[in-house]
Chains A and B, each alone.
Chain A
Amino acid sequence: MIRGTARRDPVPWLAVVPAVAAAVLFGLPLAGLAWNAPWSSAWEVISSGPARDALRLSLVTSLSATAVALCLGLPLAWVQARVDYPGKRVVRALTTLPMVLPPVVGGAALLLAFGRRGLVGAPLDAAGVHLPFSTAGAVLAETFVAMPFLVLTLEAAFGNLDRAAEDAARTLGASRAYVFLHVTLPLVLPSLVAGAVLCWARALGEFGATITFAGNLQGRTQTLPLFVYLRLQGSDADGAVILSLVLLVVSVVVLVALRNRWLSVR
Chain B
Amino acid sequence: MVPAVILTLFLLAACSGGADNSATAGETSRLLVFAAASLTDAFTAGSKDFKAQVPGLDLQFSFAGSGALVAQLQAGAPADVVATADATSMQTLVKAGLVQTPRVFARNLLVIVVEKGNPKRIASLADLPRNGTVVVLADTSVPAGRYADAVLAKAKVSVRVRSREPDVRAAVARVAAGEADATIAYVTDVRAAAGRVDGVALTAAQNVTASYLIAVLQASRNPVAAAGFVDATVHGAVQSQLLAHGFLAAP
Interface residues of A (CB under 8 A from B): 16-18, 20-21, 24-25, 111, 115-117, 130, 132-133, 211, 214-218, 221-222, 229-235, 237
- Give 19 pairs: A residue, B residue, CB < 8 Å, sorted on A: A18-B4, A20-B4, A24-B5, A117-B178, A117-B179, A130-B134, A211-B166, A214-B163, A215-B136, A215-B163, A215-B164, A215-B165, A216-B163, A217-B161, A221-B163, A233-B67, A233-B141, A234-B67, A235-B67
Known: A21-B4, A233-B65. 18 other contacts (CB 8 A): A16-B4, A20-B4, A111-B179, A116-B179, A117-B179, A133-B162, A133-B179, A211-B166, A216-B139, A216-B164, A216-B166, A217-B163, A221-B163, A230-B166, A231-B141, A233-B70, A234-B139, A237-B71
Q: Does B218 contact A (CB under 8 A)?
A: no
Residue B45 is within 8 A (CB to CB) of chain A in the complex: no
Docked CA distance A211–B71 (Å): 20
Whether a CB of chain A sits under 8 angstroms from the CB of B7 is yes
B162 pairs with A217, CB closer than 8 A: yes
Contact of B165 with A111 in the complex, beta carbons under 8 Å: no
B202 within 8 A of A: no
Would you call the interface of chain B mostly helix, strand, loop, or mixed?
A: mixed
6 smallest CB-CB distances across A and B, nearest first, come from A215-B163, A234-B141, A233-B68, A21-B8, A133-B162, A233-B67
Chain A residues lying within 8 Å of B140, measured Cβ to Cβ, are 234
Question: With the chains together, A18 CA to B64 CA distance in Å?
Answer: 35
Bound-state CA distance A241–B177 (Å) is: 33
- A232:B7 contact, CB within 8 angstroms: no
Contacts of A211 in B (CB 8 A): 166
Q: B5: which of A21, A218, A230 is its contact (CB, 8 Å)?
A: A21
CB distance from B193 to the nearest CB of A (A): 17
Given A21-B5, A217-B163, A233-B141, A132–B179 Cβ distance below 8 Å? yes
- Collect the chain B residues with CB atoms within 8 Å of residue A130's CB: 134
In the bound complex, residues from chain B placing their C-beta under 8 Å from that of A214 are 163
Q: How far is the CA of A113 from the CA of B159 in the complex (A)?
A: 28
Looking across the interface, which residue of chain B has its beta carbon closest to that of A214? B163
B1 lies within 8 A of chain A by Cβ: yes
Residues of B within 8 A of A (CB): 1, 3-5, 7-8, 64-65, 67-68, 70-71, 92, 134, 136, 139-142, 161-166, 174, 177-179
- Is there contact, CB below 8 Å, between A21 and B163? no
Most B C-beta atoms less than 10 A away, residue of A25, A217, A222, A229? A217
A16 to B7, CA, bound (A): 12
- Are the CB atoms of A115 and B179 closer together than 8 Å? yes
Q: What residues of chain A lie closer than 8 Å to B139, measured between beta carbons?
A: 216, 230, 234
Task: Give chain A nearest CB distance to B165 CB in angstroms.
Answer: 7
CA distance A233 to B64 in the complex (A): 10
- Which residues of B have CB within 8 Å of A218? 164
The reply to whether A116 and B178 contact each other, CB–CB distance below 8 Å, is yes
**Interchain CB contact under 8 A, B177 and A111:** yes
Of the candidates A25, A133, A229, A230, which one forms a contact with B134 in the assembled complex, judged by CB atoms under 8 Å apart? A133
Q: Could you tell me the distance in whole angstroms from the C-beta of B176 to the nearest C-beta in chain A?
A: 11
How far, in Å, is A222 (CB) from chain B's closest CB?
8
Bound together, the chains give a CA A230 to CA B5 distance in angstroms of 32
- Would B141 and A235 count as touching, CB distance under 8 A? yes
Q: How many Å from the CB of B167 to the closest CB on chain A?
A: 9
Compute how far the CA of A24 lies from the CA of B1 in the bound complex, rounded to whole angstroms: 10
Minimum CB–CB distance for B162 against chain A, Å? 4
Cβ–Cβ contact A20 & B179, under 8 A = no
| A17 x B7 contact (CB < 8 A) | yes
CA distance A111 to B142 in the complex (A): 24
Q: Contacts A215-B162, A216-B163, A234-B140: A20 and B1 contacting too (C-beta < 8 A)?
A: yes
Report the Cα distance A216→B174, complex, angstroms.
Answer: 12
Q: What's the minimum C-beta distance from B211 to chain A, rounded to whole angstroms? A: 19
Considering the complex, give the chain A residue whose CB is closest to the CB of B134. A133
